Amino acid sequence: MVIAEIGLNHLGDYKEVKSYLNTLLNTKVEGIEFQVRDSIFYARPEKKDLELNQQEYIDICQQIKDSGKNFGVALTDITKLDFFESIGTDFYKVIINDIKNKELVEALCKTGKKVFISTGLSSNEDIEELLSWAYCRNIVLNHTQLSNEASDSNLKAIKHLRDTHKVPVSFGSHCSNHNILYMSLCFEPSDILFYVKNESKAKKEWEKTGYPYPDEKHAILLEDVPEIVDNIKNLEKAIGSGIKKSFNNKLKIRKH
């Protein structure tokens, strides 16, 4: 599944959400994800305007599901889980801060939905500990690094995590060089997740506050998403089986 992460880049503005959906619902992305934080997070002065209300999420979820795509939530507040289950959320994500939040992880696993668990700040030991008590068929380890630098991406960790822990491993990009998405295909992640952003009037107004835009350097411009997803889908076919077989020449040879 290719997942576009709006995260908090909607800035709490439902008009921004509609702008995102107008583009993303007409691409080949298979999932669209929002980030929902807890009340302490939204109480901060620089975060207080980033929250969407329940009716807005009901409408968002319906639009996404009506388009045949999956609606997902990176959820940090366990008290909101019942609501998101009630509206038909298709998948969840555990962000890097919560890999040791046993209550939250277990509750998400019990939904039976796919649960992406971000490993950005975790060691192999942390992951082993997680899987010792949270192992279930719907867990996907999400390999990501909290760095915009390609040199920090450590793509080989995708295969290492998969071989070591025997669970699916996805790739979530925080790299500012978006070609990293194509390169990750060589390591066969179960899913690919990337953030998206909208260069809108709302974004420009937000930046005047002096607070950092939620996900800026690594997010992909909405207008670039269709081409990037098409490339991912096309290049994925190039991986093949690795087995050499007799092959018919498909090259068109020009006759003089």
Report the pLDDT value the prediction gives residue 136, as an integer from 0 to 100: 73
Which of 18-22, 132-136, 209-213 is least confident? 132-136
pLDDT band with cut points at 50, 70 and 90 for residue 256: low
Q: Is the pLDDT of residue 109 over 70?
A: yes
The whole-angstrom separation of Cα 217 and Cα 7 is: 14
pLDDT band with cut points at 50, 70 and 90 for residue 250: confident
Report, as an integer, the average pLDDT of 217-237. 95
- Residue 251: CB atoms within 10 A of its CB come to 5
Which of 4-8, 149-153, 184-188, 209-213 is least confident? 209-213
This model's pTM is above 0.95: no
Domains of the chain: residue spans and CATH = 2-236 (3.20.20.70)
Cross-strand bridge partners of residue 240: none
